């Protein structure tokens, strides 16, 4: 053991209430799900200021998957691989592919649903995918009284991508709608590897419905790891004014608006390549929808 380095105490609660009690007794302790994000921080070890750990691995309630007619409810400690195995028969092909593109099975076996949503740099595609699909997350507040509430995944982050419930809550469940695939189309794209190259990667998700050549009920989410979590009602309204076939001028106008929105939203020192990539991805997706519309 290196000199001057304290070994953090590891708490292993068996229930969520126990985990909350541990956190109340040790406010500096951090919740530990899969650990893929925490351990990939450059200053993780050795770190003299290491905080105690509350490992959530022993809480069986958080490892359950429940499938109802209209949604799939996954506990926070369900691994992405388990979610994928279950989703094989439930999710649409696009959604299945989007989750499997997050990483190889080695990463998916370790990364958990809750952990991948509770990262402060939105490095995993899960936040983008689930926000696009209007998924909900159950949040248990760290307080003496049991307070739980369902929050849309999109509301878990601010515009810069900061996780808003970092130290005062536990994310316990995620509810993913599964009935939308008949009504809506879902497109997800990932450029570059968000794990290996977070400063250049772009995650893009769009859910929409096409009615008589018009986009209806669009939901667009773009995440630039380390920089921005972009989801805007105004921009969704702009998308819903689009009717197909679309002209090149209209695509240019929409993408220009996205570029200016992103420049306002991103953190300082953001790689301009990420913004450029996000804008071009939107253009490509609009062109793809246009092509498939024209092809009938």
Partner 1 sequence: MRLNCNINGSQYSLVVNSDKPLSLILKEQIITFGENSQCLGASCGNCIVLINGNAALSCLVPAFKINGASILTFEGFQKTRFCHDIERAYSDVGNQPCPQCYASKTIIIESILNKVDKENQNRVSGFQFGAGSNSDMNHVSGANTNEQAARSRIGTGSISSELITREMALSSCQCIETAELEKIINLAYKYRSRRRARRS
Q: Which residues bind partner 1 (CB under 8 A)?
A: 1-2, 5-10, 35-36, 39-42, 44-46, 50, 53, 55, 57, 88-89, 91, 93, 96, 100-101, 103-107, 109-110, 193, 195-196
| Minimum distance, C-beta of residue 65 to partner 1, in the bound complex (Å) | 15
Rounded to whole angstroms, the Cα distance separating 11 from 18 reads 10
Q: Which residue has the tokens 């996000």?
A: 278
CB of 35 to partner 1, least distance (A): 6
Minimum distance, C-beta of residue 182 to partner 1, in the bound complex (Å): 16
CB of 109 to partner 1, least distance (A): 6
Shortest distance, position 211 Cβ to partner 1, whole Å: 26
What is the smallest separation between the CB atom of 123 and partner 1, expressed in angstroms?
Answer: 11
Could you report how far apart the first and last alpha carbons of the chain are, in Å?
67
Pick 110 or 209: Cβ nearer partner 1: 110
Nearest-CA neighbor of 135 among 183, 35, 207, 204? Answer: 207
Closer residue to partner 1, CB minimum distance, 12 or 255:
12
Q: Give the separation between CA 8 and CA 261, rounded to whole angstroms.
A: 43
Helix ranges (DSSP H) in 101-201: 105-108, 113-117, 125-132, 180-183
Which CB, 89 or 264, lies closer to partner 1?
89
Q: Which of 163, 151, 135 is nearest to 221 (CA)?
A: 135
**Residue 148: in which H helix or E strand, if any?**
strand 148-152
Element (H, E) at 98: helix 93-100
Pairing relation of β-strands 228-230 and 202-211?
unpaired
Nearest CA to 30 out of 11, 9, 53, 50 is that of 53
Shorter beta-carbon distance to partner 1: residue 75 or 87: 87
Q: Between 5 and 248, name the residue whose CB sits nearer to partner 1.
A: 5
- Closest contact distance (angstroms) between CB of 85 and partner 1 is 9
Q: Which is nearer to partner 1, 95 or 180 (CB)?
A: 95
Instruction: Identify whether the C-beta of residue 186 lies closer than 8 Å to the C-beta of residue 209.
Output: no
Residue with smaller CB distance to partner 1, 55 or 255: 55
Q: What distance in Å separates the CA atoms of residue 134 and residue 114, rounded to the nearest whole number?
A: 16
**Dist. CA 291–CA 107, nearest whole Å:** 36
């Amino acid at each position: 053991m290196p000199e001057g380095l304290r070994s953090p105490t590891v708490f292993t609660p068996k229930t969520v209430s126990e985990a909350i009690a541990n956190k109340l007794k040790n406010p500096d302790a951090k919740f530990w799900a899969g650990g893929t994000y925490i351990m990939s921080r450059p200053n993780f070890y050795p770190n003299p200021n290491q905080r105690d750990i509350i490992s959530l691995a022993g809480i069986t309630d958080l490892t359950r998957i429940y499938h109802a007619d209209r949604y799939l409810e996954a506990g926070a400690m369900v691994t992405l691989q388990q979610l994928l195995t279950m989703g094989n028969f439930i999710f649409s092909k696009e959604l299945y592919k989007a989750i499997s593109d997050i990483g190889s099975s080695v990463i998916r076996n370790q990364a958990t649903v809750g952990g991948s949503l509770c990262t402060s740099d939105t490095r995993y595609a899960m936040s983008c995918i689930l926000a696009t699909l209007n998924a909900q997350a159950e949040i248990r507040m760290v307080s003496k009284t049991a307070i739980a509430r369902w929050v849309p995944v999109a509301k878990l982050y601010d515009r810069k991508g900061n996780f808003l419930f970092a130290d005062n809550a536990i994310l316990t469940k995620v509810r993913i709608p599964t009935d939308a695939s008949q009504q809506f189309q879902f497109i997800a794209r990932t450029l570059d590897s968000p794990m290996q190259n977070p400063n250049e990667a772009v995650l893009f998700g769009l859910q929409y419905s096409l009615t008589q050549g018009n986009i209806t009920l669009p939901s667009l989410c773009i995440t630039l790891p380390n920089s921005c979590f972009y989801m805007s009602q105004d921009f969704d309204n702009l998308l819903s004014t689009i009717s197909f076939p679309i002209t090149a001028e209209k695509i240019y106008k929409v993408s220009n608006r996205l570029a200016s929105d992103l420049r306002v939203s991103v953190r300082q020192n953001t790689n301009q390549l990420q913004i450029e990539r996000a804008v071009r991805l939107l253009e490509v997706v609009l062109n793809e929808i246009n092509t498939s519309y024209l092809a009938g």
